[in-house]
Structures are given as structure tokens and as C-alpha cells.
Chains A and B, each alone.
Chain A
Amino acid sequence: MKYSLRWIEEILGVKIPLTILELQNRITTTLGEVEECVDWDNRLRECVVGIVKELTPHPNASSLRLVTVEVGSNSSRTLVCGGSNLEIGQPVVVALPGARVRWHGEGDMISLGVATIRGIESAGMICAAEELGLQEIFPELRSQGSKEIVDLRKLDFKKNWYAGESLSKALYLDDIVIIIDNKTINNRPDVWGHRGLAREIAAYTGITLPEIQASAVVPLEGSVPVHLLTDRCPFYVAVKMEISDGYTPLKLKARLGLCGERSIHPAVDAGTLTMLLTGQPVHVFDASKLRDTLKVTLGNNETFTTLDSREIEVAHEDIVIADTEGPVALAGIIGGDRTACSPQTSSVQLEAAYFMPWSVRLSSQRHSLRTSASARFEKNCDPFGCIDAARVWVAYIQQMYSKTSLQGYAEYGDCTQVNPPRILNINVQDVSHIAGVEISSSSQIKILESFGCKCIEEEDNKETYKVSIPSWRRGNDLRAVEDIAEEIIRLRGIENITPRFPDTKINISLPDPVFSLLHNCTDIFVRDFKARELVNYAFVSENWAKKLGYEKVWKVANPIYSEISALRPSLVVSLLSPNMPVFLGWVFEIGRVFRRPGIITHPDEQGVFVEDFTSRGVPDQPWQCVALYRTSSDAKWPHTAFITACSTALAVGESLGYRWKITPSSSFRLWQHPFQCASIFSEGKRIGYIAGIHPGIAVEINDTTAGACVVLNLSSVVSHTVTRLSAVLPSVFPPVRRDFSILTSFDTPAEIVRNLIEGSALASTQINVELIDRYLLSEGVSTTWRLTVTGDKTFSVQELDSLWSTIENRCKEKGWKIR
């Protein structure tokens, strides 16, 4: 929202006793963020009005001319100019050395100096609008050709232009535009008009806000007939006037431009100015084009052409203003083409109304039409503002037209029903408690009254007072003591609240166990396994998920891209997606995955959750950790991806404090390698699995490596008990080692061999069995084991031999060969 500082000072009737920087800070810290202050007076410094006196050709360039311009009483200078529309007697814009211009309207502003152009010195330049940015304020000055300079007569034919007059003064641009970030004042419809901001400034400068300047009009029922046929428009003010011979004075045009609006037609401009002043949007119809009585109703699938020539179809959800021929306006958003004002217009009808904010917002969204009016209506304007607006508009019309006559003024509906009076009982201490500092009753009241509240103190009760809230603050806010406290705190100055540390004692509690688990898991993968932590979007392609074997996934109903509408059922879907780069080594991600209810998944994936999601009313969304390891496809045992993944999974479990077990299992998703699958068990319950990546899937993602994933259901891991750390002391007696190989059939898991060897231990000895090699032969699998025997004594040869023969015999029983 753009505000003219001069206009605000005009409303206040005095100069604001703050520097622009102070004002900017004050507004930012008490109301909304000031994004920028544009000082047009400074921007147009050293620019003056010049009158062209003489035109002669440039001796050295055919496209340039020497222009003698008068730039002050009895002072003229000759400038070089390429302007195509130069004329004798023309009022033009002259930038003198020291002015800031933008060459050819492009790039940054630069400071103008004396230049020699094709051998002729030129102390200044005659400007095109774009070189000074004037077209931002006055669109009609935009140059039509590339060489057109500003002809000031385009702005105002009647005005006398004085050579040498400062341009900013002549164009009423000796002003500062304050730009406030719209979203920071979204909840304050009252400051979406200059009077609202003036009221704020008055509150913190101690200035008294004068009454609004408007024409006194008395309502006459039925003088402008309008039928309200929908409860979405509970209040409507209509004014009808006859007008002739009017124009928008340059000063008001400048004001419209500074505030980012456009001058269109004097009667419409009066309406726009009314909105900029009061914050209440109004609409002006050409009364002669209205057929019969206006009615405010809901749309009925009629088509209608807007002022900006768009065809729209109004539906039953839209509030429309219609006459007997059909809609003439989409209420609160935009008017219709058929009833627009034109130069021939001699009778105008004004509409100032209250439309239900949500209805305007939904309509503006449905038709993708956002206008200055709809932006304000959405925020819930004060219905009482309609009355002010109508009177201000009449005053503007009377100022702009030499002949006017008021034909009628009527109010329909009841403001107080929409916006009833509100009186709050405020406890002085409550406000102090919220602020955290003591604020006396008298200073609370003083602040509240500074912006229009009326406060009543009770004689016998000094602890409370009553506040009557003004109509313009009743819409969205000022409903309870918290709101009152907010007003007092901000107007008193947030910086005046001394920061304090809590003085209640801290109840130390343990963090959510899931968080500790996520934290530790991340640390282990990053630190111990040099993994790269990844974060992927929750959205995945439904087709890709299907390809990997995940069906019936949760979907977003309104995705940004229709091809990625599914919520990931597993982190695998994003880690193995075709657009992810392929990396050797470990990457991992920890995140929530989403499960549809009633879809039975494999027990390895399902897990048992600590959190009962369904009772909380949300979809199942357990935490998952997926670590993906890739290595070259010709790696040999034990460096293959799958074996690395299996041993890493056990190591991670150990680091986390769990005793996990791995059991070979079969694949259940399409991305899994059919012969590289294993389940992970903790305390006999499945908490995850390890699976190699199916070469078929690897091809699809251009992955020439061999990969395997460790998938952990963290939400179920967290419920398991952590094993306590126990110290193991080394035996004082020397260990005995022996390496040997066993040849077994293909389908004998190494686990069985290990169990057999471990089971052969003598009493009071410990056997540590380590698998140190494994390779496939034509007749079976050869595994090489290292046996380390320790105990509470030094073993004799006989003892070892007996252990050894036990192992040998047992192997023979199984049909395994010892090599």
C-alpha cells in the first residue's frame, strides 16, 4: 500500500513533527513494515519546467536539434535534443546538471553532467518520461515512440506552465511515498486508507485528528432505489448526481499516481480518491446506462463483460449488482463495461456498500480477479465507512465539476447489525501481566483514547475500566483484553518492554525418544559410515512408486505438479528415483513415510508403532531410515553392496545399543533383488530389512553400480530396550587361534556353520568365530573361519585336539568337508 505523506499531513492539518526516518521506524515498529520511502522531491531535483523558444538543426547530426529553452525568468539555454515531437512554445521537462536521470529509461539512475554531444556542449537535457520515471505517476506521459519527449500539455491543458518552476512542485510531486508491506497490515482494513494511517500517526505524535472533510448529505429513503436481495450485502449506500463540465485537477491526478492508481474519468477518479482516503471501496456507474432499479443479488450463470473487457460467467456463489438487463458489476471486485462512465456521462450513481468479506474473496479467487477494491473488502471494511465514503465522494465531485446537482442519497440495511457497538471490561492488571511490565491505568486509557476508543473509569473500582471500541476497529480485532494489551504495548513502544528471563523453575524432562533415536542414527551414519545425509521431498511420482512395487499410496488432491502427486510410501522411492544422481558409498535419509489404512504391507515394513496414529485422526506416518550403499558391481565378498549393508546394519544396531539379528528372507517389492534380502529382528520383532537393488531397476535409473538398502522402521525401533553397555576384560592367558575352511552345500547358511562351531566349545572356554573368507566352488560354498579360543588357563595340546575333533566330527555328520 502506497501513501502520500503530503496527503496525510493535509488530513492531519499540521506537519508531522518527525523526520521521515523516524516516521518510517515508528510505523514499522508499531503498525506494519515500511518497505521503502520514495522521495519524489529529491528524485526530481534539478528538474525544471522549460518552454521551447527556438529550434535549429544540429550542425553535425541530422537526428539532433539545438533547442533554446527558457528555464527561468529571462534565462534560457541551448540544449541538444533528439526529441521528435519538439514544438515552439511547448512546455517540456528540463533536467539540469546535477539531476538524476535514467539513460533512455534503462539501467540505474545516474547524475547528469554537462555533456558535449557531436561537438556542441549541452548543459542539461530535455527528458522523456521514462528518463525520470514520470510515467509511473502519469501513464499518459509514456512516450509513444522511442524519441518522444514529455509534452506537459498532455497532463493539463488549462494550466499555465512557468519556465524555471521546479518540476516536482509544478507536477505536485514534492511528496514522499510511504510504501507499507501489505501483508503486515492485512488485519487492519482501517489503515488501507490515508485517514487510517493519519489516525495512527496522530496517536503517536499527540496530534488530534480533525473531522473528515465531506459534504453534508441527508439520506432520503427511496431517492435512489436499490433492492438488497441477498444477506451477503447487509448495507448499501447509493448516491445519484448530475454532473457537467469536469476534469481531474493535476494535483489529484498526481495523488492517484503516487498511490499507484490510474486516472480514468473524473467521476471514477473521485471514487478512487475516496477509497484511498477512507479505505472504503466505491463504484461509480453511468446512471443513464442503468436499466431500471438496481438489485444486489446472487449470480445466475449469466455472462458479463468487466471494465477491463473480460468475459466472465457469474455463478450462484458470486454477489452481483444487476439491473433488468443483467449484471452490471461483480460486487466488491469490478464493474461492468456496459455501465462504465464515458466522456459523455452526465449522470452518475455511486455505490458504497458492505459485502461479506469471505464471499468477495472466494469470488475474486474463482475469477482470478484481484483489484484494489476486492483486496479491501476481503479484509472486512467498516460498514460505517460507507456513509463517510459517500459524503467524501460527493465533496470530490463538487470539487471536480463546475456544475453538479445531487439527485438522491439513500441508505439500505443497518450498519449496527453487521457491526454492533462493543464495550469491553478491562482489568488493569491483566494488561500489565500480558506485557510483563507495570502499566498504570491512566497511561492505558490515554493510549486507547489516542486512536479513538472511549474509556470510562469507574468511581469505586480502580482495577478495571470500560472501553468502547470505535466502529473501524471492531471488524477483526479488539475483542478481548489480549487485543487491548496489544494496542497498548505497540503504541507505548515495543522497545519499551524490558526483556526478562523466565523466573519460574525449569522442569527438566527427557526429549521425545524418537528424537534421540533420529539424532543418534544420523550421527552413526555420518560419523562412522561417512554417509551423506539427504533430504527429499515428501512428494513422489505415483507411477514410479508403482514401478518399485508400492501400490495404493496416499495422494495429494491438489498437487502442484500432477505427475508428483503421491506421498512417499517409503524413502526408497525418492532415493532410487531416476533424477537422483548415482553415488558410490553411503547416502541416507531419515523422514516420515505415509501409509494408507487397511493396506497390508510386508511385516518387515510394517513394524509396530509407538504412536497410535489412527486414534490421533491422522494417517499412519512412521519415521523411517533408509541407507543406500553402492559399490562397483564386480566387488567380491565381503565387499559386495549387500554384505556391506548387512554388516553395517548390525553395527548400527550395536552402536544404538540394540542386539539385532539378521535372517535371510525373500523379496517383496519390485525394486528388491530376489536373492539379496534379509530381515532385521530386534527382540524377536521385525524392525526392518536389507535388500539389494534389482538390476532391472538399476538400469532404469542409469545406475551401473551394485547397491543395497538398509531400511529401518524407526518408529518401531524406539519401543525396544537398549542393552546396557558391559565391559569385557581380556583373558590373562594367551588365546589359541586356528584357521580352517569348510565346504558346504549351496543352501547351507553360514549362520548354521557358525552355530555348530560355537556349540562345540568346552566348558569355561570362549570361542570367537570369525568368517574371514567365502567363495563359491562348483561343488558348493567354501567358507574360511578363524577360531579363537580363550579361557581361564593355558590350554594343553590334548584339550585343543579334543575340541578340534569334536568340530571335525560334527561337520562330517552334516556332510561338510573340512579343508
Chain B
Amino acid sequence: MENILDNVRIVDSEKDLEVLEKKLLGKNGILSKVSQSLRDQEGASKVEWGRAVAKMRLRCNEELALAQMRCNQLKISTALRKTAEDATALPELPRRGEYHPLTIVTRQLNTIFSRFGFIPYDGFEAETDTYNFSFLNYAPHHAARDEQDTFYLWDPVQNSMSKELLLRTHTSPGQVRALQKWGAPLRIVIPGRVFRNESTDDSHDHTFHQFEGLYVDSDASVAVMKGVLFDALYALFGKKTQIRMRPNFFPFVEPGYEIDVRYERKPGEWKWLEILGCGMVHPEVLKAGGLDPHCVRGFAFGMGITRLCMVQYELGDVRRLAGARQFEVQRCGMTRV
């Protein structure tokens, strides 16, 4: 009997199982034979005999049930083989929407600066000379005001070049507009595109995107500016990034600085990358914004979103960010925001 039970434990087809079942429990099966032989044995009580047979039957049934289950599973598995799949046999990935790299970087920056309470402010693209230059402390003959640097609009009424309307050359006019609208204290960022009338090449375009920031409060100082901006840059480039700050001149800040980060352009080739200009808001700008420079101070900064995109996405040519040439860049995998 034990021999047959061993076979039951390894049987893998229902047919074989049926045969074994007959051998065990059938009319002339082993169980009936054993039961016969036990009954014939002398000196055993009827009760004991009955118990022993019942125990044996139970054991047989258990083993058979297990075997039955195994056989069933095997049968299903064989049937499912037809629906086997290969996870490596894939078609093209499904179509997804694509954010523009400029949107992605702008949102990153918005998020970083929102931790310090900076909220986005919307500036104009077509601006006035007053807001773009005069309010920002540019001298009347400053080189930036030249036609070679700034796009002026054509005045349809006078039928001549407008002296007042232009395309903003930086996002900074938003500083004065925001100050006039909200006053101090103020923490805003102004993302947006700006225009320069200069010839274009791989790394220069006549249109590019800037990210401006303005902080006006009683505690504004070079130290606070450094704290906020360095933290933002660590958030952007990683905690271990080397950052350096050096003096630079912009008419609307005093003192003015430029901040560079060290980044790996190619494996093993590290370069200082000019990442943002910043400084303490010039008293003239605060005055233009309707504030008393003796009472509040502020700091402002501006960075090139376009430049950041170039670095992050290794675009090679800045003109691939806009117009027909943006289709040269496959933006797959750039949808995470």
C-alpha cells in the first residue's frame, strides 16, 4: 500500500490517478484486501478493526485529493502556455504629452523659490523705455538702449520708430511694476521671455527666457541674498556643487554680483558656468517703485532659464528651444515635472 501511495504523490496525469485510485479503493483494491486480512486476524476487537480501516481510508483520500489538485493545476498551466508573454517584446512606447523644457525648468525654479515664499508675477513682453531702462537706473545714453541691442516697436501713428515702446530686454521691469502694485514687503519671481537685438549663434538667440526674483524687506542684505540664492542653487545642482560669487556691474543693483557654479561639461571637464546675476536693489529702483530707500532694502536676481535648459538637456544649439527647430529634439522622457 505504501508503494501505491508513493506513486500517488508523484502522479501527474488524471488517467494514471484514476488507475491508482482503483488500485487503492476499488472493489478489489488494496484497502479492501487489507481490511479483509485484518478482519481475518484473530484476537482483534471489531472496534479496533473498524478504526484502523477508517484511518487508512482517510489517508488514502487525502493523498488522492492532493494529487487531484496537482493534476488540475498542471492541466491549466499547459492550457495557459498558449497565452505566455515576452516582456521584452515591446512596440514603440505609447504616445505621451510633452512639456517644453523651458516649462520644466521654470516650474523647477518656481518650486524652489516658493519655499522662501516667492510667488510668480506676470510681466509684460512689450514694455516701455521708462520701465525697461529709466526706472532701472540706466543713463540716457547707456549702450543697452541702442537699436543694436534693443528691439523698438514701429509706431503706427507717427509712422516712425517708437521712442517709448520696446520689447523688454530683461525681466527686470517687472520689479518696478510689482513694487508699484504691491509695495513692500515683497517676494516675487518673474519668469518670462526677453528679447535682444543681436546676431544669433549656437549659444545666443534674439529671444530667450529669464527668471527674475525680487526680495524687498527690512532684513535684506548681501548675507541673506547669499543664503537664499546658494540654497536655491544647491537645490538645483546638488548639495555638493561648488559655487562662487564675484562682483559684476548692473545699473539696477548696487552692489552687483555674478554667481557661477562649477559643472561637468564633459566627463572630467569641469567649467565655471555663469548662472545668475544678482545684487542689492539700487535705491533709484526702489524710488521708482514708490518706496523710500532709507526704510527698506531689497535684493534682486536674474538667471537664464534658457541657459539652464542648455545645460540640463545638452541641447547643443540654443535655437532648438523655439520655432521649427524645436522638432530637431526628441523630447521623450522629458515629461516629468
Binding site for B on A (CB under 8 A): 28-33, 184, 186-188, 357-358, 361-362, 365, 378, 433-437, 480, 482-483, 485-486, 489-490, 494-495, 497-504, 506-512, 514-515, 519, 522, 525-539, 552, 554-560, 565, 567, 574, 577, 579-581, 585-586, 592, 594, 596, 613, 616-619, 621
Question: Which residue in chain A gives the minimum CB-CB distance to B117?
Answer: A506
- A494 close to B151 (CB less than 8 A): no
- Give the contacts of B255-283 with A (CB-CB under 8 A): 255-258, 280, 282-283
Interface-side segment among B25-33, B44-52, B83-91, B98-106: B98-106
CB contact under 8 A between A504 and B322, given known A526-B98, A534-B100, A618-B127: no
- B228 close to A501 (CB less than 8 A): yes
Interface-side segment among B54-62, B63-71, B72-80, B154-162: B154-162
Q: Can you give 15 A-B contacts (C-beta < 8 A)?
A: A361-B141, A362-B141, A494-B245, A494-B246, A495-B245, A504-B219, A510-B119, A511-B120, A512-B122, A532-B98, A538-B193, A538-B207, A555-B156, A558-B151, A567-B167
- A502 close to B228 (CB less than 8 A): yes
- A560 close to B206 (CB less than 8 A): yes
Interface-side segment among B1-9, B14-22, B142-150: B142-150
Residues of B within 8 A of A531 (CB): 97-98
Choose from A29, A525, A560 the contact partner of B245 (Cβ within 8 Å): A29
Measured in the bound complex, the distance between the Cα atoms of B248 and A30 in whole Å is: 9
Residues of B within 8 A of A538 (CB): 125, 167, 193, 195, 207
Choose from B151, B155, B160 the contact partner of A559 (Cβ within 8 Å): B151
- B297 close to A433 (CB less than 8 A): yes
- B246 close to A33 (CB less than 8 A): yes
- A494 close to B247 (CB less than 8 A): yes
Question: Which residue in chain B gives the minimum CB-CB distance to A522?
Answer: B103
- B99 close to A500 (CB less than 8 A): no
Residues of A within 8 A of B326 (CB): 534-535
CB contact under 8 A between A555 and B153, given known A535-B322, A621-B125: yes
- B249 close to A554 (CB less than 8 A): no
- B128 close to A618 (CB less than 8 A): yes
Shortest C-beta distance, B320 to chain A (Å), equals 11
* B313 is an interface residue with CB less than 8 A from chain A: no
Residues of A within 8 A of B117 (CB): 506-508
Q: Which 3 A-B pairs have the closest CB atoms?
A: A436-B223, A436-B221, A486-B255
Choose from A500, A527, A574 the contact partner of B224 (Cβ within 8 Å): A500
- B331 close to A532 (CB less than 8 A): yes
Residues of A within 8 A of B282 (CB): 482
- B199 close to A554 (CB less than 8 A): no
Residues of A within 8 A of B112 (CB): none
- A585 close to B247 (CB less than 8 A): no
Residues of B within 8 A of A502 (CB): 116, 215, 217, 219, 224, 227-228
Shortest C-beta distance, A355 to chain B (Å), equals 13
Residues of A within 8 A of B108 (CB): none
Measured in the bound complex, the distance between the Cα atoms of B124 and A554 in whole Å is: 15
Measured in the bound complex, the distance between the Cα atoms of B146 and A187 in whole Å is: 18
Measured in the bound complex, the distance between the Cα atoms of B321 and A535 in whole Å is: 7
Shortest C-beta distance, A511 to chain B (Å), equals 5
CB contact under 8 A between A435 and B221, given known A187-B249, A526-B99, A560-B206: yes
CB contact under 8 A between A535 and B226, given known A486-B254, A557-B161: no
* B244 is an interface residue with CB less than 8 A from chain A: yes
Residues of B within 8 A of A504 (CB): 185, 217-219
CB contact under 8 A between A530 and B152, given known A499-B226, A538-B125: no
Residues of B within 8 A of A535 (CB): 100, 102, 321-322, 326
- A501 close to B224 (CB less than 8 A): yes
Measured in the bound complex, the distance between the Cα atoms of B100 and A560 in whole Å is: 25
Task: Output the residue of A437, A499, A508 with the most chain B CB within 10 A.
Answer: A499
- Give the contacts of B282-313 with A (CB-CB under 8 A): 282-283, 297
Choose from A490, A497, A554, A565 the contact partner of B223 (Cβ within 8 Å): A497
Question: Which residue in chain A gives the minimum CB-CB distance to B279?
Answer: A486
Interface size of B as a range: 35 or more
Choose from B122, B247, B297 the contact partner of A434 (Cβ within 8 Å): B297
* B38 is an interface residue with CB less than 8 A from chain A: no
* B222 is an interface residue with CB less than 8 A from chain A: yes
- A489 close to B119 (CB less than 8 A): no
Shortest C-beta distance, B46 to chain A (Å), equals 64
Measured in the bound complex, the distance between the Cα atoms of B219 and A162 in whole Å is: 67
- Give the contacts of B215-247 with A (CB-CB under 8 A): 215, 217-219, 221-228, 230-231, 244-247
Shortest C-beta distance, A437 to chain B (Å), equals 6
Residues of A within 8 A of B315 (CB): none
Interface bits B317-334 vs A (CB < 8 Å: 1, else 0): 000011110110001000
* B96 is an interface residue with CB less than 8 A from chain A: yes
* B126 is an interface residue with CB less than 8 A from chain A: yes
Question: Which residue in chain B gives the minimum CB-CB distance to A580?
Answer: B324
Measured in the bound complex, the distance between the Cα atoms of B100 and A526 in whole Å is: 10
Measured in the bound complex, the distance between the Cα atoms of B249 and A392 in whole Å is: 30
Measured in the bound complex, the distance between the Cα atoms of B234 and A336 in whole Å is: 56
Residues of A within 8 A of B199 (CB): 560
Residues of A within 8 A of B154 (CB): 554-557, 565
CB contact under 8 A between A557 and B244, given known A361-B141, A500-B227: no
Measured in the bound complex, the distance between the Cα atoms of B246 and A495 in whole Å is: 9
Question: Which residue in chain B gives the minimum CB-CB distance to A552?
Answer: B156
- A489 close to B222 (CB less than 8 A): yes
Residues of A within 8 A of B324 (CB): 577, 579-581
* B170 is an interface residue with CB less than 8 A from chain A: no
Measured in the bound complex, the distance between the Cα atoms of B297 and A498 in whole Å is: 18
Residues of B within 8 A of A507 (CB): 117, 185, 187
- B197 close to A618 (CB less than 8 A): no
Measured in the bound complex, the distance between the Cα atoms of B155 and A596 in whole Å is: 10
Residues of A within 8 A of B207 (CB): 537-539
Choose from A186, A530, A557, A577 the contact partner of B97 (Cβ within 8 Å): A530
* B130 is an interface residue with CB less than 8 A from chain A: yes
Residues of A within 8 A of B226 (CB): 436, 494, 497, 499-500
Shortest C-beta distance, A458 to chain B (Å), equals 21
- A618 close to B120 (CB less than 8 A): no
Measured in the bound complex, the distance between the Cα atoms of B283 and A498 in whole Å is: 24
- Give the contacts of B162-213 with A (CB-CB under 8 A): 162, 164-165, 167, 177, 185, 187, 193, 195, 197, 199-200, 206-207
- A499 close to B100 (CB less than 8 A): no
Residues of B within 8 A of A30 (CB): 246-247
Shortest C-beta distance, B211 to chain A (Å), equals 13
Residues of A within 8 A of B146 (CB): 365
Question: Which residue in chain B gives the minimum CB-CB distance to A583?
Answer: B327
Question: Which residue in chain A gives the minimum CB-CB distance to B124?
Answer: A618
- B153 close to A616 (CB less than 8 A): no
Measured in the bound complex, the distance between the Cα atoms of B127 and A362 in whole Å is: 24
Residues of A within 8 A of B147 (CB): 557-558
Shortest C-beta distance, B296 to chain A (Å), equals 11
Question: Which residue in chain B gives the minimum CB-CB distance to A502?
Answer: B224
Measured in the bound complex, the distance between the Cα atoms of B298 and A502 in whole Å is: 12
CB contact under 8 A between A530 and B223, given known A482-B254, A486-B247, A501-B228: no
Measured in the bound complex, the distance between the Cα atoms of B207 and A537 in whole Å is: 7
Choose from B99, B143, B152, B249 the contact partner of A361 (Cβ within 8 Å): B143
Shortest C-beta distance, B190 to chain A (Å), equals 10
Measured in the bound complex, the distance between the Cα atoms of B196 and A538 in whole Å is: 12
Question: Which residue in chain B gives the minimum CB-CB distance to A508?
Answer: B117
- A512 close to B246 (CB less than 8 A): no
Task: Output the residue of B130, B152, B254 with the most chain A CB within 10 A.
Answer: B254
Task: Output the residue of A506, A556, A619 with the most chain B CB within 10 A.
Answer: A556
Question: Which residue in chain B gives the minimum CB-CB distance to A510?
Answer: B119
Shortest C-beta distance, A569 to chain B (Å), equals 12
- B327 close to A536 (CB less than 8 A): no
Residues of A within 8 A of B256 (CB): 486
- A434 close to B321 (CB less than 8 A): no
- B122 close to A533 (CB less than 8 A): no
- B187 close to A506 (CB less than 8 A): yes
* B335 is an interface residue with CB less than 8 A from chain A: yes
- B258 close to A184 (CB less than 8 A): yes
